Amino acid sequence: MDSFLSGVKNVTSAVSDAAVASANKVGDVASSGLHAAKDGVSKVGDAASSGLNAAKDGVSKVGDAASTGLHAAKDGVSKVGDGVGDAGSSFTGGLTSSFTTLTVLHAGTKAKILASSPWILSKVGRIINAMRSSSHKFTDDEIDLVVKSLYVSQSDADLKSAFDMFDAKFNGTTKGYLKGSDFRTVLPLVGEDVPDDKIDALFKEVDKDQSGNLEFDEYRTLMLSMNPIQESGMVMGGLTSLTSGVLGSITTLTVLKANTKAKLMGASPLALGKIGRIIKSMQNSKFQFTDDEVDDVVKALYVTQSDDDFQVVFDLFDKKLSGSPQHSGALSAQSFRHLLPLVGEDVPAEKIDELFTEMDTDGSGNIEFAEFKAMMLAMNPKA
């Protein structure tokens, strides 16, 4: 994994000293896409210094590419999705301009943001730019309120203040809800870049009471799901596009066993997006996986990460992908190509052989269990 570590070092040297500690956590985003971590994250330094659209090709493919990681956002980063496919939309437009746009924030808010990850800096930059250019004429105090509520405190009080502010802006006076028709306008103002054809589906997911409006509880749930806080207290902010991976996960999770599904209810949107891709890929595969086998894979990658469960999954792929009823104890280069999408990764065809060579640490020409396990853990590191 020397190239992976090198990619992370490139990120930390390209951003400010204030973001060094958080930049080292790019591996978390990369879990959503080993391709992004390997090919995209190494280019983030270029994106930060030259403003090139490296995240669309890398970080967003980190899974839903990732994330994300491997898939990024696009099924991921599913490419960090079915992005990320999807999960970050663009590392540019935010990070490269954020250091100047942050001047509109209050000193306390700015200090907290400068200590956060480059990913959050990028998203905050988009929020500030979107609110500044909006026809609704947001003040600097209102911009600070939104950023603070999403990336500093995430307290009910601050989230409610931001909600009430949007409520009054769009409705002319506080009515206690945001109209469905205003949902499209709100998304970019909170840093989200959701494809137009996905917005209605997302609104239906969030509008739990089917009122046709977004009340505070629904708004709060959406904001927290898009910007989950890690155990360290840092806001991950790794999801800039709630696309097919996350949207599909709510229904696709029904194939999982109750215990596995229960364990995943607290997972981040990034992880849910990648799990959705895994389930869809295995269900549509010519290798005809059963629901129990799908559950085994998801459980091994996102619930236990135990040697026993990884071995069960390795043996499953060993037999299925080779077409043999017996375990061979290894995955061939050809099986490796089939394997990647089945574990939620979207790696460009021209990069697969290079990745295989890197994972085949003993040079045997096959992927044995120890190498498979190392790859799965690298793609899906625990928070």
User: pLDDT tens, 94-130?
Assistant: 444 444 568 889 999 988 888 876 667 778 888 998 9
Q: Average pLDDT of the chain? A: 73
How many angstroms separate the CA atoms of 137 and 70, rounded?
Answer: 39
Burial per residue of 357-372, b for 16 or more beta-carbon CB atoms within 10 angstroms, e otherwise? ebbbeeeeebbbbebb
- Residue 314 confidence (pLDDT) above 80: yes
* Alpha-carbon gap, residue 343 to 379, rounded angstroms: 9
Rounded Cα gap, residues 226 and 248, in angstroms: 15
Residue 293 in this model has a pLDDT that exceeds 60: yes
Contact 74, 84 (CB under 8 A): yes
Q: Is the pLDDT of residue 167 over 70?
A: yes
Specify the pLDDT at position 31: 38
- Mean pLDDT on 1-7: 41
| Side chain identity, residue 154 | Q
Q: Tell me, what's the pLDDT at 54?
A: 36
CA-based angle 232:238:244, to the nearest 5? 135
Give the pLDDT confidence score for residue 302 in this predicted structure: 92
pLDDT of the residue at 340: 94
List, in sequence order, every beta strand (DSSP E) within the chain: 177-179, 213-215
Phi, psi of 116 (to 5 degrees): -95, -175
Question: Would you state the pLDDT for residue 187?
Answer: 92
> Average pLDDT of 4-13?
38
For residue 101, what pLDDT is reported?
65
CA distances from 341 to 34, 66, 96, 151, 251 (A): 12, 12, 32, 33, 19
When pLDDT is cut at 50, 70 and 90, the band that residue 25 belongs to is: very low
With beta carbons less than 8 A apart as the criterion, state whether 277 and 85 touch.
yes
Q: What is the pLDDT of residue 123?
A: 81
Phi and psi torsions of 178, nearest 5°: -110, 130
Instruction: Tell how far CA 373 is from the center of its chain.
Output: 22
What does pTM read for this prediction?
0.43
Please tell me the distance from the alpha carbon of residue 375 to that of residue 358, in angstroms, as a whole number: 10
User: Which span out of 58-72, 129-143, 342-356 was modeled with the highest average pLDDT?
Assistant: 129-143
* % of the chain with per-residue pLDDT over 70: 64
Q: In which band, very low, low, confident or very high, does the pLDDT at 378 lie, cut at 50, 70 and 90?
A: confident
pLDDT at 225: 77
Flag whether pLDDT at 181 surpasses 80. yes
pLDDT for the residue numbered 328: 92
